[in-house]
Structure 1
Amino acid sequence: MRQASGTLIVTAPCQGLHLITDAVAAWVADRGMDEGLLTLMIRHTSASLLIQENAAPAARRDLERWLARIAPESPDYEHDDEGPDDMPAHLRSALTATTLSIPVLGGRMRLGTWQGIYLCEHRRRPAPREIAAHLVGT
């Protein structure tokens, strides 16, 4: 049994869902493991990770609109230390995921045909995001 860990740094160009599957796949391939389990964890509370549809751009846009409706910017939030998008970003992160577990087989992630890994940037002014990666396998 072997293990590898590292950090992927991703800066989204804007608020929304951003496909990062290729960057994660490259990191996995560089580890040289055939079989195992990959864990990804975003080290932030105003961004998140999702495994979601990656073939139809409309699915991504619908998810972005849904998140904006369910956790809209509002002057009603008490927590606004970093601006009006601060608390909605935390709420959207709470509704999605901060950790993903993905099986690896044949040196590749075992995602479904139409699945991709997304960085969900919930802030209007994106910053570099750290994603901790850990792979255990053979």
Structure 2
Amino acid sequence: MWVQREVKLRPYPRGFHLVTEEIIRQFPEINRVNVGVFHVFIKHTSASLTINENADPTVRQDFEQFFNRCIPENEPYYIHTYEGPDDLPAHLKSSVLGSNLTIPVTNGHLNMGTWQGIYLCEHRNRASGRSLVLTLMGDS
């Protein structure tokens, strides 16, 4: 079985946000797969995806602080600043974290660890909703 769908996430403020349940709600076919792979791709260059801690929200706050310190705004050597001081840093953060995830599916569920969740990493101060391409491959 192959299923692919493009979905739009609601707008999120800058930061790291758990979106696992929002994604699963928009892709009920996962429930029919016994063994498979779920691929998530974000169609943007100023936001990214990662998998990490899904229980303690301070982890997401720490992620934001860490990346802001490692890739700061307003560096004098930045040239690509057409859309504001968060423009190039957003692209750099996106490249560091990545634009896609591949997650095993087992018995109708994403086969992630107990404390793992999918993060939308929003790197822009004022972003609209983000588009994802979701692809499910598997046997039912």
- Could you state the TM-score of these two structures normalised by the residue count of structure 1? 0.93
Runs (5+) with no aligned partner, structure 1: none
Contact 1:48/1:121, CA 8 A, preserved across alignment? yes
Contact 2:12/2:129, CA 8 A, preserved across alignment? no
What pairs up with 1:15-54 in 2 under 5 angstroms?
15-31=14-30, 32-54=32-54
What pairs up with 1:70-85 in 2 under 5 angstroms?
70-76=70-76, 77-85=78-86
Runs (5+) with no aligned partner, structure 2: none
Matched, 1:131 2:114: no
> In terms of mean alpha carbon deviation, does 10-19 or 48-57 score higher?
10-19
Q: Deviations over 1:103-132 (max 9, x none)?
A: 001111001000010111100001111011
- Aligned-partner Cα distance in 2 for 1:66–1:38: 29
- Aligned-partner Cα distance in 2 for 1:85–1:16: 12
- Could you state the TM-score of these two structures normalised by the residue count of structure 2? 0.92
- Aligned-partner Cα distance in 2 for 1:129–1:29: 20
Cα root mean square deviation, aligned: 1.3
Q: State the percentage of identical aligned residues.
A: 41
2:95 alignment partner in structure 1: 94
Runs of 4+ in 1 over 6 A off after TM superposition: none
